Amino acid sequence: MTLDNSDRIRETVTRYLDLIANGTSADVAALYAPDATLEDPVGTEPKHGREAIEKFYAALDAVRNTTELLTIRVSGNTAAFHFRVVTDTGEQTITIEPIDVMTFDDQARITSMRAIWSPTDMVVA
Amino acid sequence: MTLDNSDRIRETVTRYLDLIANGTSADVAALYAPDATLEDPVGTEPKHGREAIEKFYAALDAVRNTTELLTIRVSGNTAAFHFRVVTDTGEQTITIEPIDVMTFDDQARITSMRAIWSPTDMVVA
């Protein structure tokens, strides 16, 4: 049971990174539970609910992203993962490698997301 | 101000890993705020307060550890860091590479620690 849920959590994270690269903001928001929260980066005002979350990801729809999972750890209903996202805006390439912490419900939907990174971690080329 | 606090948080994490390797359980507990919480691994019953936290680290006093910081991200009052701890029990060597998430007060004392790892992440040699 614990192991199964851990596997499903890993699947959701894999799908999340795939959709950040290849999906729409609506696709990404659909991975979240309806009443989920999102705080990205940590210290900013959290977003509440899928509608606000979809709006947060709307910037995705205008750019091209590639993503790569670097490390993931899962414990109970929580995952922490270090990943790389490279954003091609057409004018420049921005690389960020945050550590995200997510919690999940029994259906492995994201109930909260907190992204830990700072502007000093961004590489612009 | 934000930048200063971020630097002090990084210092506390560096000292934390140094004390896991070279300090006593009391040294490590002293990095925590008096009313801090510790959940290691996430999903287990959290410990509350410095006394319970010092007891949690008591196992340190019987073994030899080396530690290495692999990645750290700091955002607001929160740090997430991926690190390696190698424990030499005298009979075997146990390697774990958790991702820990810590929050801090204004003095960069740890107010909460959550360690995300699972037994499947352990390597015993």
The mean per-residue pLDDT over the stretch A73-97 comes to 95
- % pLDDT > 90, chain A: 86
Is the CB of A80 less than 8 angstroms away from the CB of B101?
yes
Give the confidence band of A48 by pLDDT, cuts at 50, 70, 90: very high
Beta-carbon count within 10 A of B118 CB = 18
> What ipTM was reported for this prediction?
0.90
Å from A96 to nearest chain B CA?
A: 11
| Residue A39 to residue A44: CA distance in whole angstroms | 6
CB-CB neighbors (< 8 A) of A1 in chain B: none
Q: What is the DSSP letter of A44?
A: B
| Residue A115 to residue B25: CA distance in whole angstroms | 30
B85-104 pLDDT, tens digit per residue, is 999 988 999 999 999 999 99
Q: Among residues B32, B40, B57, B100, which one is catalytic?
A: B40
The CA-based dihedral angle spanning residues A47, A66, A78, A120, taken in that order and rounded to the nearest 10 degrees: -70
Q: Contact at 8 Å (CB) between B100 and B69? A: no
CB-CB neighbors (< 8 A) of B42 in chain A: 75-76, 78
pLDDT higher than 70, residue A52: yes
- The predicted pLDDT at position B120 comes to 85
- Look at A60 and A58; give whichever has higher pLDDT: A58
> Which domains are present in chain A?
2-124 (3.10.450.50)
B39-49 pLDDT, tens digit per residue, is 999 999 999 99
A92-108 pLDDT, tens digit per residue, is 999 999 999 999 999 99
- The predicted pLDDT at position B1 comes to 45
